């Protein structure tokens, strides 16, 4: 036990040394918080098998039946944004972002896919700005601009308003991270190769504050380098996790302090950087797959009142996926299926749902939703009421169904 304590203490010293306050950002100095005793150890090498009921992590918010029209058709949604009045959906398959009302009516495509002015090749993080009645897209892939990672902003009618360049995004080769809009500040996580861990600015792009990134520039990531920043307790408190790193940080925007919140132990499934680099050098795909097989690529996805939620890609010939739930009280780690007890206890496929900050979205083709509704033993009453209110029964030919759920916060 003593040896484990010493190792943990040494690790914390290393982590906090990396984030010491001898570097100044644009507007403020980064400071180390004095709450290192609150760090949670999440041992992914000791996973317990346990299924989680959907109602344990979310509350039902709304069932949205998308209208039957060609413009309203979705291909493979990659992200959602939700507000009292709107649902904003982005697509993986080079389609424009689509704006709907929360009753499922298609309102407008936001922008177009292309390489011309105000066009984009991809969208990574849709945002609804309720205060200013605007819609934000963090876009990339427009090669008429010699950069990736900037925001396009649209007015309440869905018309292009302006392009907002963020100075701290200019160094990004490919920013595919999520963004937040909180209290009229835009917040973006960096990557392991970025100059910043996290940066934020006013919605006009001014008064930029950067939290310097102290991870080594050669920190190895293999499958993904997707970073996430999510809101946590308090208006100014965030959790930030970069790429495949083993530390989740708590960041306080008000007093600009930072501290490790979660340390992930992952010795059994850590990528062997030397073997993979050598396989890449040899340009041998089979060798690369063998060298990386079984490695965990870990993403922080959300937080509830009881759990931290992680999504894991397991490398191999065919990428596998795991949902890992970390108990906030004990640090115990569970993996298993999410059982949709809002809709007939059907196990949820990993690719059927998406987290977006405080929400979880489940996307169903109509035929699949109808099949789940065929047995009405255990269905949330508001879902039943919505379906019963339809003037005509839902059929396999109808458009998609979106189930919106809000992560339980206990506050």
Residue extents of the structural domains in the chain: 33-407
Backbone angles phi, psi at 16, to 5 degrees: -75, -25
Q: pLDDT tens digit string along 165-220?
A: 766 565 454 556 778 888 778 888 877 777 778 888 888 878 888 888 877 766 66
Rounded to an integer, the average pLDDT of 68-76 is 90
pLDDT in tens, 101-128: 999 999 999 998 887 778 888 787 899 9
Whole-angstrom distance, CA of residue 68 vs CA of residue 400: 9
Q: Cβ(231)–Cβ(182) under 8 Å?
A: yes
Over residues 361-366, mean pLDDT: 91
291 membership: H or E segment, kind and range: helix 285-292
Quick check: helix, strand or coil at residue 47?
A: coil
253-291 tens-digit pLDDT: 888 888 899 999 999 998 888 888 888 888 888 888 888
Q: What is the C-alpha to C-alpha distance for residues 309 and 289, in angstroms, rounded to an integer?
A: 27
Residue-wise pLDDT tens digits, 17-27: 444 333 333 33
Tell me the two tokens of residue 333: 């780690």
In degrees and rounded to multiples of 5, residue 43 shows phi and psi of -95, 95
Strand order in the sheet with 134-140: 122-129, 134-140, 150-154, 160-164
Query: Could you give the CA distance from residue 78 to residue 65 in angstroms, rounded to a whole number?
Result: 18
Upper half-sphere CA count for residue 376 (Cβ side, 13 Å)? 8
The neighbouring-strand residues paired with 389 are none
Residues 306 and 329 sit within 8 Å (Cβ to Cβ):
yes
Name the percent of the chain lying above pLDDT 70: 82
**Beta-ladder partners of 323:** 311
Residue of 90, 60, 61, 62 whose CA lies nearest to 76: 90
- Residue 224: its pLDDT value, please? 59
CB contact set of 255 (below 8 Å; sequence gap of 6+):
31
Provide Rg for the chain, Cα atoms. 22
User: What single DSSP character describes residue 371?
Assistant: H
Is the Cα dihedral 194, 296, 262, 78 positive or negative?
A: positive
Residue range 33-407, CATH number: 2.120.10.30
Cα–Cα dist 339/397, whole Å: 26
Q: What is the mean pLDDT of residues 34-51?
A: 84
Q: What are residue 353's phi and psi, to 5 degrees?
A: -135, 155
Q: What is the pTM of this model?
A: 0.85
d(CA 240, CA 250): 6
DSSP 8-class letter at 259: E
Considering only residues 335 and 10, tell me which one the structure prediction assigns the higher pLDDT. Answer: 335
Mean pLDDT across the chain: 81
Work out the angle at residue 331's Cα, subtended by the Cα atoms of residues 269 and 33, and round it to the nearest 5 degrees.
Answer: 100
The token pair that represents 53 in the structure block:
């009921």
């Amino acid at each position: 036990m003593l040896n484990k304590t010493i190792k943990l203490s040494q690790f914390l010293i290393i982590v906090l040394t990396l984030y010491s306050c001898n570097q100044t950002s644009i507007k403020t100095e980064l400071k180390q918080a004095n709450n290192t005793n609150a760090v949670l150890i999440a041992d992914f090498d000791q996973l317990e098998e346990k299924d989680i009921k959907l109602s344990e992590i979310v509350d039902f918010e709304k069932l949205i039946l998308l209208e039957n029209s060609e413009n309203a058709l979705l291909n493979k949604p990659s992200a959602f944004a939700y507000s009292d009045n709107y649902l904003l959906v982005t697509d993986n398959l080079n389609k424009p972002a689509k704006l709907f009302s929360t009753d499922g009516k298609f309102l407008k495509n936001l922008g177009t896919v292309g390489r011309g002015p105000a066009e984009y090749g991809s969208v990574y993080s849709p945002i609804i700005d309720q205060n200013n009645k605007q819609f934000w897209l963090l876009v990339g892939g427009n090669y008429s601009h010699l950069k990736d990672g900037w925001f396009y902003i649209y007015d309440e009618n869905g018309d292009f308003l302006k392009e907002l360049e963020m100075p701290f995004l200019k160094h990004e080769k490919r920013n595919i991270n999520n963004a937040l809009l909180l209290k009229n500040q835009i917040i973006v996580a960096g990557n392991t190769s970025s100059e910043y861990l996290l940066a934020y600015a006013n919605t006009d792009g001014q008064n930029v504050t950067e939290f310097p990134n102290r991870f080594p520039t050669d920190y190895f990531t293999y499958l993904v380098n997707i970073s996430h920043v999510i809101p946590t307790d308090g208006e100014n408190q965030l959790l930030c996790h970069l790429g495949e790193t083993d530390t989740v940080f708590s960041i306080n925007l008000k007093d600009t302090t930072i501290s490790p919140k979660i340390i992930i132990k992952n010795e059994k499934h850590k990528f062997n950087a030397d073997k993979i680099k050598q396989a890449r050098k040899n340009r041998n795909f089979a060798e690369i797959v063998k060298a990386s097989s079984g490695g965990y690529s870990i993403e922080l996805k959300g937080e509830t009142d009881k759990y931290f939620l992680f999504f894991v890609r397991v490398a191999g010939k065919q990428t596998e996926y795991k949902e890992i739930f970390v108990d906030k009280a004990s640090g115990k780690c569970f993996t298993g299926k999410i059982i949709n007890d809002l809709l007939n206890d059907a196990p949820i496929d990993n690719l059927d749902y998406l987290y977006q900050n405080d929400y979880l979205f489940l996307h169903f083709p109509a035929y699949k939703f109808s099949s789940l509704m065929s047995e009405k033993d255990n269905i949330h009453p508001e879902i039943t009421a919505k379906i019963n209110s339809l003037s005509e029964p839902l059929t396999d030919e109808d458009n998609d169904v979106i189930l919106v759920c809000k992560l339980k916060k206990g506050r």
